[in-house]
């Protein structure tokens, strides 16, 4: 990694309010749920905590409000060992998310309000230039404004930092973004939106990965839920099966767990396919527990699951 080390993640914090029920209510209907949890969330924040708990040296760039949810965020980073380059803002709330969890399957549906983190801009990236340029890995997503994500990816790429881009929640992105991605990592729903066709079969996954590669990404990883993940580059294609670590309770943080584990393994010099396996193991443990950040496994737990 040419003297570079650690992982820098740009993203949002949102307090996760998770409600477990048989189904979503209809308009004007009230349902009695079977469970509730409150904890730290947001894709970037979850990924930072997952990476740190997996053994990575992590810096997280974000904004929170000067409120109880913001205090929750900072406490979570301190507990996980994440360096928090996080601006506290007066007069604006921290991000928050409504999460419906199906009590039978563990599947989820989410509404996220970025709050303070929705004000992240290129100035937040510029303020962290030294850390980004000296990192082994820079990773970001699309919950904060697109221009901040692009600015971070551009800065990292120019400095020779390995870039990981999680295009979630999915939206239209300029084709120029793909060329900034050493690894682009969508799930099957996000990838389908980007390429314009369903991803239900292995052949459809290969076709989607090829499309994203043709747009300029150096490597594509499709996370496929219970099917595992698919890694594709110009000269290598491999399906990596999911691990089983017990009964699936809550899939909400699975993608973030995968990305945190994957980034940690890449930062340590692992070959990409081995890093995908490490990410799959991280996710497999996380889905056996409720919540997002609190569900992320320790390095010892991940190592124990890997053969």
Q: Which residues of 108-143 are buried (b: 16+ CB within 10 A; e: fewer)?
A: bebebebbbbbebebebbeebeeebbebbbbbbbbb
- Answer whether 168's CB lies under 8 Å from 157's CB: no
CB atoms within 10 A of CB 214: 9
Residues labelled catalytic: 256
- What does 205-244 look like in DSSP terms, one character per residue? HHHHHHHHHHTT-S-EEEE-GGG-EEEE-SS-EEEEPPP-
Q: Write down the H helix ranges in the chain.
A: 43-53, 68-80, 122-127, 129-134, 146-158, 188-195, 202-214, 254-267, 272-286, 299-305
Helix (H, G, I), strand (E, B) or coil at 6: coil
């Amino acid at each position: 990694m040419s003297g570079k080390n650690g992982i820098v993640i740009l993203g949002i914090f949102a307090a996760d309010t998770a409600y477990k029920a048989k189904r979503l209510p209809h308009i004007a209907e009230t349902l009695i749920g079977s469970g509730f949890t409150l904890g730290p969330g947001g894709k970037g924040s979850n990924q930072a905590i997952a990476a740190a708990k997996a053994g990575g040296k992590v810096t997280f760039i974000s904004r929170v409000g000067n409120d109880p949810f913001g205090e929750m965020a900072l406490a979570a980073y301190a507990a996980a060992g994440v360096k928090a380059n996080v601006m506290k803002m007066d007069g604006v709330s921290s991000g928050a998310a409504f999460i419906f969890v199906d009590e039978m399957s563990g599947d989820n549906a989410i509404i996220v309000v970025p709050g303070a983190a929705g004000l992240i801009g290129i100035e937040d990236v510029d303020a962290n230039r030294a850390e980004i340029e000296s990192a082994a890995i820079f990773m970001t997503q699309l919950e904060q404004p697109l221009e901040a994500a692009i600015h971070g990816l551009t800065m990292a790429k120019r400095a020779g930092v390995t870039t990981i881009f999680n295009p979630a929640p999915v939206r239209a992105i300029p084709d120029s973004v793909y060329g900034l991605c050493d690894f682009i990592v969508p799930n099957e729903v996000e990838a389908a939106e980007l390429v314009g066709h369903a991803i239900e079969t292995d052949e459809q996954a290969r076709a989607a990965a090829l499309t994203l590669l043709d747009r300029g990404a150096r490597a594509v990883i499709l996370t496929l839920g219970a099917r595992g993940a698919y890694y594709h580059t110009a000269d290598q294609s491999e399906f990596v099966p999911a691990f089983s670590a017990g009964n699936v309770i809550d899939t909400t943080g699975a993608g973030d767990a995968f990305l945190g584990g994957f980034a940690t393994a890449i930062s340590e010099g692992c070959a990409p396919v081995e890093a995908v396996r490490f990410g799959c193991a991280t996710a497999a443990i996380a889905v056996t527990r409720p919540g997002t950040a609190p569900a992320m496994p320790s390095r010892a737990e991940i190592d124990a699951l890997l053969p």
